[in-house]
Amino acid sequence: MPARKTLDGFDFSFQPSVPERLIRELASLHFLQTATNVLFLGPPGVGKTHLASALATQALGAGHSVLFTTLAGLAEALEGSPSPTAWRLRLRRYVQPRVLVIDEVGYTRLTAEQAHALFELVTARYEKGAILLTSNTSFAEWGGLLGNEVLASALLDRLLHHAEVIAISGASYRMKDHQDRVATRSPMTTVVS
């Protein structure tokens, strides 16, 4: 995982759109038994990766297997396989863990081959293993992301059947110390650091 993140280290008061009760309930890990997916949606810096990592860390602590990947890493790993058997073996790496975290969905547009691989993966884990996913992209845009509207709708159908969708809106935590300075600058000189 990118860095060690815990729920204790998450400031719920900074991000009131995050449903704290639901997050604490998810931390009980009951969602693993029901293979419920958890999707964190929202703009950059609102804590999506933090919360997904914290739940994954909780699962690791309880002795479950966890695999953390970005969508870009996953897409790269599942393309260009020499044979169907080799491809199945590669896919298995992402199907077997009790928890699969797919971070940063939305930054990478997938090739047709990668989009089909992602669909196969979501189908293979459907009702078997939970996926924790973070995205800055609304579901309506997934057709463009996968380059295929029909495939995107079939994938979302499976992904969302048993799922908690946590849409986070608010300011970036990364920018919190810069807010005053950004707010006092004139629009012509606003700098994003």
- Give the footprint of ligand ADP on this chain (CB under 6 A): 5, 9-11, 14-15, 42, 44-50, 134, 173-174
Distance of CA 73 to the CA centre of its chain: 13
57 binds Mg ion (CB under 5 A): no
| Residue 11 contact among Mg ion, ligand ADP, none, beta carbon within 5 to 8 Å by kind | ligand ADP
**Out of 5, 26, 46, 49, the residue judged to bind Mg ion by CB under 5 A:** 49
Q: How far is the CB of 132 from ligand ADP (least distance, A)?
A: 12
Helix (H/G/I), strand (E/B), else coil: 193:
coil
Burial code (b: 16+ CB inside 10 Å, e: under 16) for 88-97 equals eeebeebbeb
CA distance 35 to 16: 27
Q: How far is the CB of 13 from ligand ADP (least distance, A)?
A: 8
Residues 81-140 that bind Mg ion (CB under 5 A): none
Stretch that binds Mg ion, among 10-18, 42-50, 83-91, 166-174 (CB under 5 A): 42-50
Where does residue 140 rank: exposed (0-12), middle (13-18), buried (19+ CB within 10 A)? exposed
Nearer to Mg ion, 71 or 155 (CB): 71
Q: Which residue, 165, 161, 143, is CA-closest to 52?
A: 165
Q: Which residues pair with 39 in a beta bridge?
A: 133, 165
Nearer to Mg ion, 51 or 151 (CB): 51
Interface positions with Mg ion (CB under 5 A) = 48-49
